[in-house]
Structure 1
Amino acid sequence: APLWAATSGAVSVSPADPLAGPAQAALWGLGGVAGVEYPGRWAGLVDLPAAFDDRAAQRLLTVLTGESGEDQVAVRPSGVYGRRIAHAGRSGSAAGRPWQPTGTVLVTGGLGALGGHVARWLATAGAEHLLLTGRRGADTPGADELTAELRELGARVTVAACDVADRDAVAELLAGIPAETPLTAVVHAAGVLDDGVVDSITAERAVGVARPKADAALVLHELTREMDLSAFVLFSSLASTVAGTGQGSYAAANAYLDALALHRRDLGLPATSVSWGLWAGKSLTDEAVAARLVRDGMPAMDPERAVAALRHAVGSGEPHVIVSDFAWDRFVAAFTALRPSPLIADLPEVAALTERTAGPERPAALDRAALLELVRTAAAEALGYEGADAIGRDRIFKDLGCDSLTAVELRNKLSAATGLRLPVTLVFDHPTPTAVVDHLAAELGEPEVRTETAVVPAAGAAVTDDAIAIVALACRFPGGVRTPEDFWRLISEGGDAITPFPTDRGWDLDALYDPDPDHHGTTYARGGGFLHDLADFDPAFFGISPREATTIDPQQRLLLETTWE
């Protein structure tokens, strides 16, 4: 069954609903990416109330059975809430006063491209002293030129090398701010990227992304919460809300920033988290990802327009806003290709497009020539080739430069074009354009009723008043699992149950392996999920002769053992 991920206090449905667990919000960022990369295995995200009573349980059941039609929901005493993106108002702050920077403004990542644009605006808007940090400080390329430019604009500038996730280092940095120009605002623009599909994210890679973004934000929050700040600005990313392939770690870290801003609002502290789209010019985003964003309907913003939007966002009083350019036709097609999402359904541009383009999701079966052209064109776009002619029909995708990220992007393009739900391993299971065409032709030729029957069984199966009792548990699973305790330990520790082929089954392992996945009678994998103790069965214990035991199906022997346990 598809996976639901549960949190508690990770989201807020209104100003009267405090966000108590900002750290849990990281799962909402990661979960959005998981839904894009594994749409067939991901059900959604649900945030539970602090007090979980029978009514909340019934509402949760409605969500889990799919009756709500939502995949990002919050269960509250007042009802079930689905997540939506809405247009921001244009009225400014509640008090009608736009933000006016004064005194000292700390800009983390202030020597980077985005930080530099913000620093220039701050210098022209009235900030007297700019404290710019970066990992290399004054040794950052371009630091001297930026400093000179800011001083010409009338600001005093201090450049510091500082790890903003290091609490002691930040405390020392803040202590050095002159008393005549006290700290009045923080702009946290630091961050790093380390893209990779969810399956490839290790703890080390996740920490590498979270530390300069999320950990640093927490340090800044804790060390400045007693100060009289006029603004606390967090540079988040569109990935935290509108998930993108390969950005699981980055989406998680930025979702935490969004939640931290709402948490600060609940504490009566200033906070604005801005989920940025793509900026033109230099940024964290590499060229390949930037090109994909443009193709998917999120073109780069002019930096001057982005800074103008930042002024409006900080003055609006909203704790979390999205600032991005959208080419709505391309964006809606890309965002809903794999998982039609209610998240953007209330936007008028989306509603208008949906009404115009309503129709059957799956096209009529295409002939093989058309399918081959579709696959080669999609592969050329995903892999950065100039045209389909560069993609030979029998070339192996891996030899063309396909990796896990581009494999997902190619899968997404083909899913959008065909209306099929395709696996993330598509180009590894079918490693050439011709092999993919064979798979698509078979799928498109199947009757459509297969997709319609999947929505039927939810209603009556979930609730029963009959009491049941579980009197015992026993199991055997790959990974050395012999007890339920072993099983949960394997899951909680994130263990790997895939092992080399067992050597005690009489298999000719050399003859069994062939790198060609289409070669009959062989496998192109070197490992799998195996039970390695099948030969340890004790026939005498069960009153069975050794000769008879060799004729018993191994599954029956396992059943005897687990039943006795």
Structure 2
Amino acid sequence: EVPVDAPLSGVVHTAGVLDDGVFGSLTAERLAGVLRPKVDAVLALHEVTRGLDLDAFVVYSSASGVLGGPGQGNYSAANAFLDAFALWRRAQGLPAVSLAWGLWGDTGGMAGALDRTDQARMRRSGVLPLSVEEGMALFDTAIGADEPVLIPVKFDLTALAAQAGAGQLASMLQGLVRRPRRTATAGGPVSAISLSDRLAGLPEEEQTEMLLDLVRDEVAVVLGHTDAENIVPGQAFSEIGFDSLTAVELRNRLMRVAGIPLAATLIFDYPSPVAITEHLRAELIPDAASGTVQPADVDEAGLRKALASVPLERLQELGVLQQLLRLVAAAPGAADSGATSPASSETGQSAAHLIADMDVAGLIERAMGNTTN
């Protein structure tokens, strides 16, 4: 329907869809849903315009396809295709440029779907939002450049330098900042004191306090809070805005700080800051776990009586109330106090099999109450 007296002179493709999630949660459908507006649409535009004398064929890609992005395996793949496609089209003698954009700071479009936690994660990665004026200036510059793929991103060089100092900067960005020099004292190389060593010399109460402060600090960073005092020690992660991506990020940050391996299902197994604190103490100071009561040593009747005497407010404060309620709801015979019926037994077995078959993302989502399955 392009009029003859005003022929088509250029194509600019900007469409995209987000469907973020940890890699193990991606399905063929979630991959196809994100690839369709990128891959299928651009191929269609290429086919219907390849015979025209275009001045420009511009596709909006993303820096996630170049640098990677947490939880964006499908989106990264779609944009990596666009970058490769621009190179291929240029090789055919046709105009093409792929712009692997960083974050735009306006409140519309895909940036509008980012919540405070997502934005905080972007800032920690060293990417700053572009204003509309900055973005359009970069667009004009890119159109005039003779390059098939460009990466218009606004970097926070201070944040990148901090990543370099911690040994966490992506190799592709290392040329943007100077790596800090490592110096040695007269007594020899500086050796870092491990967290375990720092804890070993403290009384038990101070060990717990130090670890809890560390956990709350990391939780605050992941959620984008400026003050860790806002993080209630016993509050369940499901109640303070965690999802599968932030759960994995918290686990990764705690692994780096503690220097020990932690399960990807960390907040599923330990659903509050205080629960993670106790787990870290047991892992970092083996003697702290030596007095742990084993299931075989438990007086079941006595334990049930003791649990019944604990106020619900205290269980809520410790972050275990919701877990206990889920266990009660899933337990065989939960519907009545009589003998276990075959149907309820089957329900309990089905629940156990369901949990055993879940991937990491599924377990985390269920633990946080973000699923109805």
Count, aligned residues: 285
2:71 aligned with 1:246, yes or no? yes
Report the 3-state secondary structure (helix = DSSP H, G, I; strand = E; otherwise coil) of the residue aligned with 2:89: helix
Aligned to 1:211: 36
1:201 equivalent among 12, 26, 35 = 26
In the alignment, is the contact (CA less than 8 A) between 1:337 and 1:419 conserved in 2?
Answer: no
Q: Tell me by how many angstroms 1:267 deviates.
A: 1.3
Residue type of the alignment partner of 1:284: M
Q: Could you list the per-position Cα deviations for residues 171-223 of structure 1 after superposition, in whole angstroms to 9, with x for gaps in the alignment?
A: xxxxx111222111111111121211112222222222111122111111122
Residues 362 and 418 in structure 1, CA contact (< 8 A), matched pair in contact too: no
Q: What are the residue-to-residue correspondences of 1:105-504 with 2, within 5 Å?
A: 176-282=1-107, 283-285=109-111, 286-288=114-116, 289-331=118-160, 333=162, 341-345=170-174, 347-349=175-177, 352-355=178-181, 363-365=194-196, 366-367=198-199, 368=207, 369-383=209-223, 387-420=227-260, 422-441=262-281
Change (3 A) 1:310 1:360: farther
Task: Give the whole-Å Cα distance in 1 for the aligned partners of 2:164 and 2:102.
Answer: 14
Q: 1:267 to 1:361 in 2, by over 3 A?
A: farther
Q: Contact 2:11–2:56 (CA<8 Å) still a contact in 1?
A: yes
SS state at 1:186 partner: strand
Which stretch shows the higher mean deviation, 388-397 or 215-224? 388-397
Q: 1:355 to 1:236 in 2, by over 3 A?
A: farther
1:287 Cα offset (Å): 2.5
The structural deviation recorded for 1:332 is 5.6
Q: TM (normalized to structure 1)?
A: 0.45
CA contact (8 A) 1:298 1:325 kept: yes
Q: Which has the higher helix share?
A: 2
Q: What is the correspondence of 1:76-95 to structure 2 with a 5 Å cutoff? A: none
Distance 1:526 1:187, change over 3 A: closer
Conserved? CA contact 2:61–2:79, under 8 Å: yes
C-alpha displacement at 1:383, in angstroms? 3.3
Distance 1:361 1:419 in 2: 11
Task: Return closer, same or farther for 1:373/1:337 CA change in 2, 3 Å cut-off.
Answer: same
Alpha-carbon separation, structure 2, partners of 1:222 and 1:363 = 59
| 1:338–1:421 Cα contact (<8 Å) kept | no
Aligned to 1:136: none
Deviations 1:69-99 (A, max 9, x none): xxxxxxxxxxxxxxxxxxxxxxxxxxxxxxx
1:385/1:342 CA distance change after superposition, 3 Å = closer
Q: How does 1:1-12 map to 2 (within 5 A)?
A: none
C-alpha change, 1:186 and 1:210, in structure 2 (3 Å) is same
Aligned to 1:273, the other structure's residue is in SS state strand
C-alpha contact 1:329 1:353 (8 A) present in aligned 2: no
DSSP 3-state at the match of 1:381: helix
**Cα-Cα RMSD:** 3.7
- Residue ranges of structure 1 left out of the alignment (5+ in a row): 1-175, 447-508, 515-522, 530-565
Quote the Cα distance in structure 2 between the aligned partners of 1:357 and 1:421: 29
The alignment-based identity, stated in percent, is 42
Residue 445 of structure 1, CA deviation: 5.8
- 1:96-111 to 2 correspondences below 5 Å: none
CA distance in 2, matches of 1:353, 1:229: 45
Pick the structure with greater CA Rg. Answer: 1
**Structure holding more strand per residue:** 1
Q: In the aligned structure 2, how far is the partner of 1:184 from the partner of 1:309?
A: 21
How far apart, CA to CA, are the structure 2 residues paired with 1:402 and 1:338?
A: 27
Shift in Å at residue 278 of structure 1? 0.9
* 1:284 counterpart SS class: helix
Distance (Å, rounded) in 1 between the aligned partners of 2:191 and 2:94: 49
CA distance in 1, matches of 2:106, 2:281: 42
Partner of 2:110, secondary structure, is coil
Shift of 1:439: 3.9
Amino acid at match of 2:211: L
Residues 410/238 of structure 1: CA separation in 2 closer, same or farther (3 Å cut): same
Tell me the alpha carbon deviations over residues 289-331 of structure 1, each in whole angstroms, 9 at most, x when there is no partner: 2232123321111221121112222222111111111112324
| 1:356–1:337 CA distance, 2 compared to 1 (3 A) | closer
Q: Distance in 1 between matches of 2:122 and 2:41?
A: 27
Amino acid at match of 2:138: A
- CA distance change for structure 1 residues 337 and 257 in 2, over 3 Å: closer, same or farther? farther
Q: How many angstroms apart in 2 are the aligned matches of 1:242 and 1:300?
A: 16
In 2: Cα distance, 1:373 partner to 1:192 partner? 38
Task: Return 5+ residue gaps in structure 2 as ranges.
Answer: 185-189, 200-206, 287-343, 358-373
The answer to whether the Cα contact below 8 Å between 1:380 and 1:386 also exists between their aligned partners in 2 is yes
Shift in Å at residue 525 of structure 1?
Answer: 7.2
